[in-house]
Amino acid sequence: MRDAPSGDAVSDTMEVNDETHAPDARWLSQGDDWVLELSGAWREHSAPLPELPATEVVGAVRVHADGLRSWDAPLASALWHQIEPFARRGADVDLQALPEGLQQILALALDTPPPATAAPAATRGRVARLGARVTAWWALRRKTLTFFGEVLLSLGRWLRGRSDMRASDLAWQIEQTGPRSLPIVALVCFLVGLIVAYMGAAQLQRFGAQNYIADLVTVGVVREVAALLVGIVLAGRVGAAFAAQIGSMRANEEVDALATMGVNPVDFLVLPRVLALLIVGPMLTAFGALVGMAVGWLVAVGIYGVTPLEYVYASAQAITLPHVVVGLIKGTTYSVLVALAGCLQGMAAGRSAQAVGDATTASVVQAIVWIVVVASALTVVFQRLDF
């Protein structure tokens, strides 16, 4: 019969077991993938997790826990802080090797439940990223379409006299977006009109056709340039302001307060801004066209020797009703798109200062993209209609 080990022997055995079960973690690189290996007993925050090296994670992030003896809730929290940034960036996160309980906690926290199939990690990662992109794209499109529908319903309520919009709000928005935009619209249209007139005249002079400067400047500015410049100016000045104002109200929970009091936020906040730009858009476009034509007169008369009356007569002959109508339609359309983009981003903004700033930037980018796309489509349509 074997003698029982002495006290010193028992103590030595316990120290060896403690050292064997000491918590350990390390990141390993496998091509484009990163693997976190866990081992030992992870209890009571016994050791911090190592930080992933500063590199771009392109493939998958996996966790191997074959040597994990035990764990508690702090380990789940530490793993979430390590893995969540890469899951948010679209990297494939593989939790299959974790204990079932720890795997379920992380999958729930990351909102990425483990796949039911045993497909290869690389293929599963690509499919998951593609699915996430398609889902995000459709969610954004659906949100935009829903917002457009709410605006149309709000417009219908206003036409029936059942809207929560106040006339004073509409008048205030018209004053802020119209008269206060005149200086910057005049400056931009003057400078761009100068460029168009000077460069066009320089080419016409080579053929002795200075008399056609008026036709070039008038048709170009009235039909295309003025509307496009007004849209871009309003996107930077008015659209960004709409997004910042409404986004700040969302961050301060003022939009929720309106809904709580029974006031429709779309009627109260969005509709006055959309109607204001619908009203001032064609006016600003006409003003910008006049400024562009005036600077064309300065270039033709002052530099290329065209007589003043000859330029005025040629401009009057070049301006036709279709050109004016097309220019006003485009200017009005661009202005409404600016209002919709600014209000959409403001209503969808998060509840922080950074989210408001992101919404402001997104409103300008979205408005300009919409303007360019719609400008191309309208140009093709009007040309096909010979209008």
- In the chain, the domains with their CATH numbers are 9-114 (3.30.750.24), 164-384 (no CATH)
Residue 155 has pLDDT above 80, yes or no: yes
pLDDT of the residue at 284? 96
> What pLDDT shows up at residue 150?
93
Q: How far is CA 240 from the centre of its chain?
A: 12
pLDDT band at 76 (very low <50, low <70, confident <90, very high): confident
- pLDDT of 75 strictly over 80: no
Residue 383 pLDDT exceeds 80: yes
How confident is the model over 131-140, as pLDDT tens digits? 878 887 888 7
**Three-state secondary structure of the chain:** CCCCCCHHHHHHHHHHHHHHCCCEEEEEEECCEEEEEEEEEECCCCCCCCCCCCCCCCCEEEEEEEEEEEECHHHHHHHHHHHHHHHHCCCEEECCCCCHHHHHHHHHHHCCCCCCCCCCHHHHHHHHHHHHHHHHHHHHHHHHHHHHHHHHHHHHHHHCCCCCCCHHHHHHHHHHHCHHHHHHHHHHHHHHHHHHHHHHHHHHHCCCCHHHHHHHHHHHHHHHHHHHHHHHHHHHHHHHHHHHHHHHHHHCCHHHHHHHCCCCHHHHHHHHHHHHHHHHHHHHHHHHHHHHHHHHHHHHHHCCCCCHHHHHHHHHHHCCHHHHHHHHHHHHHHHHHHHHHHHHHHHCCCCCHHHHHHHHHHHHHHHHHHHHHHHHHHHHHHHHCCC
Rounded to the nearest integer, the mean pLDDT of the chain is: 82
Taking residues 360-372, report their average pLDDT: 95
Whole-number Å distance between alpha carbons of 21 and 87: 30
The pair phi, psi for residue 86, each rounded to 5°, is -80, -35
* pLDDT tens-digit readout, 181-191: 999 999 999 99
pTM over 0.75: no
- Are 170 and 272 in contact by the 8 Å Cβ rule? The answer is yes
Q: Which of 48-52, 161-165, 213-217 has the lowest mean pLDDT?
A: 48-52
CB distance 331 to 230 below 8 Å: yes
